[in-house]
Structure 1
């Protein structure tokens, strides 16, 4: 399974000017009143509405917050994507997070850690570096959990015990 790159979005193609005007309409306030409520200068509001300036994310959040609005991330199908939670028990011995794109294995079994083949002491947690194994495991898990959706599909191959 290959990971395709998407084209970088042009920040000026986002409808920020219209969103800022919508905030003012919802709140029923002028540019000066919005600027005061969002703690920025009214000139910045004017430039954003004109489309000649793009606010930073924290500034945009403050502007949207004036009307009780917020920012969400959605995928191509329109489903809201929630941020990953930071689990304290999934940090290494130097208190670093494990890579987000890898599945963390807490309390690994023999053969689940790459260092097992070298006879190294097994850590309390690790992750699979093999992308194909990880993708196979995720497909199998989705097939097992979403029975109704995949009822008429043959099961994906089982994930081997070790790689």
Structure 2
């Protein structure tokens, strides 16, 4: 962190005092960050980077940029809440894709698989189908009974 803040000042060609004014923080805050005795909050760090026209991105282990999840107004539950982010939402589920089908409940316009094993098997199958060239020499993963 200290080196990044110093790099911002080098790129912008400004002093600690000028950076503090531009980022709307105290000069002592900039000094403490550069000494390593203070870790800035994310909003403050973004303002500091913005002074030099820099920004942040999230990358995975392969260096690919990870984009934030989009909010969809048509995929909220009856109380206008989002479905759990760690689950794959199924819009307009087919018969048998919703856990409530076995109880004869009315099917919702969207749902998700609660069973982790089912989700992972479907995810592996989908990845294999989409990236056939990558997995050309490998047999397809097993398909869950009753699922497409």
TM-score with structure 2 length normalisation? Answer: 0.95
- Which of 133, 140, 153 aligns to 2:118? It is 133
1:54-133 correspondence runs (5 A): 54-133=39-118
Residue 132 (structure 2) pairs with residue 153 (structure 1): no
Q: How far apart are the structure 1 equivalents of 2:92 and 2:127? A: 23
CA distance in 1, matches of 2:145, 2:4: 50
- CA distance in 1 between counterparts of 2:92 and 2:44 reads 42
- Which residue of the partner structure matches residue 19 of structure 1? 4
RMSD over aligned Cα atoms: 1.0
Secondary structure at the counterpart of residue 105 of structure 1: strand
Q: Specify every segment of 5 or more residues in structure 1 that has no aligned partner in the other structure, as ranges.
A: 1-15
Cα-to-partner distance string for 1:44-93 (whole Å, 9 max, x where unaligned):
00000000001000000000011111111111222111111111111101
Aligned-pair distance for 1:117? 1.3
Where does structure 2 lack aligned partners over 5 or more consecutive residues? none
Give yes or no for the alignment of 1:42 onto 2:16: no
Displacement, 1:159? 2.9
Hey, which bits of structure 1, 4+ residues long, moved more than 3 A?
A: none
